[in-house]
Structure 1
Amino acid sequence: MFTFLLVLHAIVAALMVTVILMQKSEGGGFTSGGSPSGLMSARGAADFLTRSTAILATLFIVMSIGLAVYAANRHSTAIDTSLQRMPAATAPVTSPATAPVPVVPLGGNSAAPATTSPAPAAAGNSSVPLAN
């Protein structure tokens, strides 16, 4: 039902665009001349196009509101759990205070092997030796 109404809405929109583009900007309407009476005269075409524009615009607005209400009320309230993530296995977490910290030599000797020492327990701890 929703798809049918949506296709009908698109057709109404296309018709409305077509009817609006057929009108002259000064209100002359469908033709540029002809007999002064009848539907296909300048005045008759303008009246026909004006009426059809008003009807199509009203239909477009009513269908827009109706489709919005219909779409808002057709949703499901059930929660789909088929894509729920499985809890990841937790690895043992080491405290940053006990993890070894690599010591970088200050002398610029890149050939010297880096040694590790325990990280300081506090931010201001200067008891950790630095390699020269």
Structure 2
Amino acid sequence: MHAVILVVHLMIAIALVGVILIQRSEGGGLGIGGGTMGGMTTARGAANLLTRTTAILAAVFMSTSIILAIMAGRPSQPTSIIDTLPAPAPAQQAPAVPAAPAPPVAR
């Protein structure tokens, strides 16, 4: 579950950076999204759409950040069934008794 939220968090971060770079800033900036965004909407409508998109992505980014922080603070639980099994007790073996020598063979 942690990995899924982390991947979603990274995708949101990349989308947020992209949306911010598309917006036209007061100082010029990249201004990639200037004009009418391919005729989809007016310039003012495109600015409102990008502003709303930025706000939504920022809210989701903050919520995934908080979720990841909470998950990191919890004590970790074993993830493998092998980790949950108790260690086997060592087997008690009797000490080895040396074998008696074999009698000589008569010829």
1:10–1:18: structure 2 CA closer, same or farther, 3 Å change rule? Answer: same
- Name the structure where strand makes up a greater proportion of residues: 1
- Report sequence identity in percent: 47
Cα deviation digits, residues 12-40 of structure 1 (max 9, x gap): 00000000000010398833258xxx852
Alpha-carbon contact 2:19-2:53 (below 8 Å) kept: yes
Alpha-carbon contact 2:22-2:32 (below 8 Å) kept: yes
Alpha-carbon contact 1:29-1:43 (below 8 Å) kept: no
Match for 1:31: what amino acid? G
Q: Bigger radius of gyration, 1 or 2?
A: 1
Tell me the TM-score normalized by structure 1: 0.49
Look up the SS of the partner of 1:4 in the other structure: helix
1:33–1:3: structure 2 CA closer, same or farther, 3 Å change rule? Answer: closer
How far residue 74 of structure 1 moved from its aligned partner, in angstroms, is: 4.1
Tell me the TM-score normalized by structure 2: 0.60
Q: Which runs of 5+ in 2 are unaligned?
A: 78-107
- Name the structure where helix makes up a greater proportion of residues: 2
Runs in 1 of length 4+ with deviation above 3 angstroms? Answer: none
Equivalent residue number for residue 57 of structure 1: 58
* Structure ranking higher on relative contact order (CA contacts 8 Å, 6+ apart): 2
Q: Where do 1:69-88 residues align within 5 Å?
A: 69-76=70-77
Alpha-carbon contact 1:23-1:29 (below 8 Å) kept: yes
